[in-house]
Amino acid sequence: MSVNILAVGDIAGRSGLDMLSRRLRSIVRLENIRFVVVNGENAAGIGITSAQAREILSAGADVITLGNHTWGKQDISETLDESRYILRPANFAPQVPGRGAGVFETSFGSVLVINLIGRCGMDFGPDNPFFEADRILKGNPAKFVLVDFHAEATSEKIALANYLDGRVSALWGTHTHVQTSDACVLPRGTGYITDLGMTGPVNSVIGVKTEISISMFLGNPPRRFEAADGEAKLECAVFELDEESGKCLSARALRILD
């Protein structure tokens, strides 16, 4: 027997939220999904509001993970302390609000979800994600372990996945908003993809209006990033997990267009 887990790439702006609301439940039905993790850190363009978090959960997500833009909207701070269904990276400084991991009871067993952030190319110094993963996994009672690694460098993502191979059921990368073609099962049974991609506007630069991004690269005075509109896509991955061992049997990426 096996169970299917869905991981959804970074929600980017209003079009991403709307796309998730329109399509998530049909994907869950078609793919026989039993548990859904959605990265929501760009729902507001930069950050996520408490209202948007509720919207993502109402759309069918079981857990929301975040990333480097966790603090983009200050009203999320109180919600992070109140809701166990919204995770921020576990290797943030220990005094910040919220939690970085949680165990969730399901009809097929306990699921541990871990949210981590990378250190390569980021503008701040989080704790070592490798050591933080070890700390969380020590004495872990859950058979199924899912990791969202929000990181810039593909090398860091691949290295952590191999470091945790056989100790977690699946690890996926988020943050770059570009879906990679390397969905696979690693030698010791961990499902992996370097980046899920994003859920948001197709005609954009990783979710941002193209003219704003182009202007920045031309060296013009900075402008506030604005999420693009128009046709949207939902990018995600399905991990089939063995119900007895918790190991991954198959991994594949999906892209759903409007």
First-to-last alpha carbon distance for the chain, in angstroms, is 33
DSSP character at residue 42: B
Q: What's the token pair of residue 103?
A: 């165990």
Helix (H) or strand (E) holding 149: strand 144-150
8 Å CB contact between 183 and 15: no
Q: How many residues does the chain have?
A: 258
How far apart CA 19 and CA 257 sit, in angstroms, is 9
Map residue 236 onto helix, strand or coil. Answer: strand
Q: Could you give the residue numbers annotated as active site?
A: 69
